[in-house]
Amino acid sequence: MTDEVKILTTAVIECQRANMKKSAMECCYVLMKPEFRCQLDEKYKNTIETMVRKGGKAKLEDPPDEMTPCPNCEKMFPNFSIGCIFCRTGEIFCLASGRHLVADDLTACPKCDFPALKSEFIKVLKQDPHCPLCKEEVDHTRIFLINDMRPYIDRP
């Protein structure tokens, strides 16, 4: 099994879990191409074939991207975009979730000073007390809101 087939199979599974039926189906169609079909793991092959056979009967859609305000210009843009499509502020993402930062939920790792959404960072630290970025141990009770976002937006 090639890496392509492993990645696409994983994408199908994860897209299904996230209720992203259209995206899952697009990966299934690629996996049904002759060069990939013969490499499919037997435990997933029937499921993927069934999805493709039945998938054409319904109009499949992915849920819309949640929109949140840009921390710089405050215009709404997709939650998982790492750069604002309006003011071109870039790389303003949370180290815990991958979502872009929002002004009213900002914190930073006390060890590496990388920004995060406070609510998401605390969830991650409760499961594992190490920063996902710097791997240093962080006490989740010592995480606090940051009011001034400029130092994190203006980074080179």
> Which tens digit of pLDDT belongs to each residue from 2-56?
889 999 999 998 888 888 888 899 999 999 999 998 999 888 898 898 888 887 6
- State the Cα–Cα distance between residues 9 and 97, nearest whole angstrom: 23
Q: Are strands 106-108 and 115-117 parallel, antiparallel or unpaired?
A: antiparallel
Q: What is the pLDDT at residue 20? A: 85
Which three-class secondary structure string do you get for 69-119? ECCCCCCEEECCCCCCCCCCCCCCECCCCCCECCHHHEEECCCCCCEEEHH
Ranges in the chain annotated CATH 3.30.40.10: 67-153
Per residue in 109-156, pLDDT tens? 999 999 999 999 999 999 999 999 999 999 999 999 999 888 877 654
Q: Distance between terminal CA atoms of the chain? A: 42
For the ranges 31-35, 61-65, 88-92, which has the lowest average pLDDT? Answer: 88-92
pTM: 0.62
- State the Cα–Cα distance between residues 132 and 115, nearest whole angstrom: 12
pLDDT (mean) for 66-89: 83
Asked if 115 and 92 count as a contact pair (C-beta separation under 8 A), the reply is: yes
Q: State the maximum Cα–Cα separation within the chain, in Å, rounded to a whole number.
A: 55
Superfamily of domain 67-153: Zinc/RING finger domain, C3HC4 (zinc finger) (3.30.40.10)
Q: What is the pLDDT at residue 113? A: 92
- Whether residue 57 has pLDDT greater than 80: no
Q: What is the pLDDT at residue 78? A: 86
Q: What count of residues does the chain have?
A: 156
